[in-house]
């Protein structure tokens, strides 16, 4: 059985080389061995961690990578709490749906366990509820990032994506005393 698998992989590699494609070879080898896309094994189930924090949100930015698109939420202090899940609708603090304002075929509902206002209840980000926070033109997966506001110390976002794809969420320290909650959404499922 191992010899047959090895021969199959070798035949795919040789066919890719003969066909003139170094890039086709890598994709064909991955498909033959069942390897995950870019090593991504995240899945599309709910991701949740951490606890409530008082460090306010100060920035939202996005980035394009080879295998995924990224949304970064930066806070002025340590944070650890979030919940991210797929859903059909998502509401802001007063219960108004954000879905009509969000582009994309699928919706990631993001709840950050930290406010977007300081101790004096002054907003720490320039967005209003329902506003688009990032330009995601030419991104492979991200379609929209919409601010849902803060209510009782929780801040919400609706992140529109082109399809229900694997994602991960995690916390990074820095820069300086700041911290970040990062959301990565894969460009595709495994090949």
For position 78, which CATH number holds? Answer: 2.60.40.3500
Give dist(CA 181, CA 46) in Å, integer: 15
Contact yes or no for 179/54 (Cβ under 8 A):
no
Q: Calculate what percentage of the chain has a pLDDT beyond 90.
A: 68
Mean pLDDT of 82-105: 83
Q: Residue 93 to residues 35, 150, 157: CA-CA distances in angstroms?
A: 42, 6, 11
Quick: pLDDT tens for 163-188.
999 999 999 999 999 999 999 999 99
Expressed as residue numbers, the domain containing 92 is 47-186
Give dist(CA 137, CA 134) in Å, integer: 9
Strand partners, 89: none
For residue 52, tell me if it sits in a domain.
yes
Domain count, the chain: 2
Same domain, 95 and 129: yes
pLDDT at position 34: 54
Same domain, 57 and 25: no
In three-state secondary structure terms, 157 is strand
pLDDT at position 91: 75
Q: Where are the beta strands (DSSP E) in 46-166?
A: 47-49, 57-64, 68-75, 82-87, 106-112, 142-151, 154-161
- pTM for the full predicted model: 0.79
* Half-sphere exposure in the Cβ direction for 63 (13 Å, CA): 9
Taking each continuous run of H as one helix and of E as one strand, the counts in the chain are: 2, 9
Residue appearing with tokens 């916390």: 171
Same domain, 128 and 88: yes
Mean pLDDT of 89-112: 83
Q: Residue 101 to residues 7, 39, 97, 111, 170: CA-CA distances in angstroms?
A: 52, 33, 8, 17, 26
Same domain, 154 and 96: yes
Give dist(CA 66, CA 64) in Å, integer: 7
């Amino acid at each position: 059985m191992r010899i047959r698998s090895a021969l199959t992989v070798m035949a795919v590699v040789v066919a890719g080389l003969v066909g003139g494609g170094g890039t086709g070879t890598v994709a064909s080898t991955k498909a033959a061995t069942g390897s995950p896309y870019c090593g991504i094994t995240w899945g599309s189930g709910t991701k949740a961690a951490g606890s409530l924090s008082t460090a306010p949100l100060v920035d939202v930015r996005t980035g394009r990578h080879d295998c995924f698109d990224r949304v970064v939420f930066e806070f002025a202090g340590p944070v650890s709490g979030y919940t991210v899940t797929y859903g059909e609708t998502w509401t802001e603090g007063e219960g108004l749906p954000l879905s009509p304002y969000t582009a994309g075929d699928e919706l990631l509902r993001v709840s950050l366990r930290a406010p977007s206002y300081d101790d004096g209840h002054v907003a720490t980000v320039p967005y209003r509820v329902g506003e688009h926070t990032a330009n995601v033109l030419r991104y492979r997966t991200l379609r929209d990032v919409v601010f849902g506001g803060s209510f009782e110390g929780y801040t919400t976002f609706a992140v529109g994506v082109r399809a229900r794809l694997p994602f991960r969420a995690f916390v990074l320290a820095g820069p300086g005393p700041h911290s970040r909650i990062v959301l990565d959404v894969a460009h595709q499922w495994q090949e």
